[in-house]
Structure 1
């Protein structure tokens, strides 16, 4: 072969660029393989043995596609593995797009109903307000109630965080208070099927629908502080009175939207904390995005930094005095005074007037 026909050797720069490109392609393939494995794990309806076998086969196909990438001069030899992987990915995407949320499943008792709101001026009638009596996670008395509220008497809002898996993960609730003593808590939760339990990973793979629950504090907060033994913190929100009503109505609108069109829970983008942020941002449009919206255990600190908690205290002071468990456990489940629990958990919390906690 004449010297002028010999292709020049690739430069070091081009070689490293090619290695980097192959590395990125391999990472993309591995990411797709991991996503597909999760989808099969949480959505495949067959027996566990078959499901696990499919996961292994799919992961092996991903490894084969990665191994095929560096073959430079034998492009035809690597095509079958890459084509098979691409075809499998297309099939998984088609399956993913066909998974639709539903309102019609065998729901667990505590999420079996969705509340329905009727608003006429200041008067709000809520059907299916949850007021279970919890003795343990599995021992409870179901109770769904119809309650009426006067929006002109809205007087406060409290942020409640319940820690169940370390300091970075918490469940977020918002409790509204009225000057006639009534309280109502909103909580976005997974809509579990009977016998099902929460999975943070499953929340990435359309495993759960979401539901907005309206409940009594003795139900939805007490079950966490007492029945489940989670660490619960309560903070008085520094919210101007004029914003309480649109916040309250925002939760009603969200519940109505979910009742009309079911939606999947997503661990990262559509969960108990993001719904609070979404509603708050309709009232305060310039609220900034922040990593603490994803690490919900730090959400109260984010609210503090935005001036949303009681002023005049450090966050550490609010956090320490907002810990409700010792006070919560002092109130028996069958206490004759229906409001004793709500008063007890607020004692000593900054920003809450003594009249709200007096026996």
Structure 2
């Protein structure tokens, strides 16, 4: 496995693992998952040299952190465990975004307990609270760093101006936002703000929630209850148009003798040494495939072929429905 540095010298494997799909019967389902299979996958990732694992209290909610915590027990050394907070809760029901320092502390302490660790390596604000100044939120998160409960701070889906304001309060190690061949809105202002402040970038959904991997060509292939049935880009109107992107990736993959997923991840890695994708996995087969992406080198011809079919803004449909879009780039 190759390694990269995010902001503030935080070294991680060049490919991280998004643990969200490992939820079984949770609030965000991508097909079906099994705790034992997910645990074996985490163990195999560690054996492959992957050090970067991403979860959040939102996933489940709470159960994903418990699964990750149980899986890394006895194997914690050398790992970078990232988790996130955003919501206040009414039991297991989200009751609104809360970026207050008090909520950051509550979430941090709960995550530490569920993960079974003494320190969170990378603690993100999952979504910016428009009602709490980012200076106040990051100030509260910085207190957790000073107390030794958190090593590094991150933001998720923050706008460029928010990133710049946050960095003035405390160093930010990473911004995690959606970025992939079919979702490039961060190019320009957001990535520029990160690079101005020495902040690494962590793309989530780097495979377009599985679409770019090429195995889904119809909604009928998704089980009932799958979250992607609500994704506008998977809609009957937009999916046929977006399949042209998949076909272009497949052509590049065929030239190299690799998978679509490896090409999509290699494309992201080619966008800068400060970028570390976290594809979601739950099975060993997917893990091993994604882990091979850093060994794939795309040519200028490959990049041009992808650009021709998937320019910034060229994907059919927004990445979320209206409610989700209202929570990003704040």
Shorter-chain TM-score: which interval?
under 0.3
Structure number with greater Rg is 1
Higher relative contact order (CA 8 A, sep 6+): 2
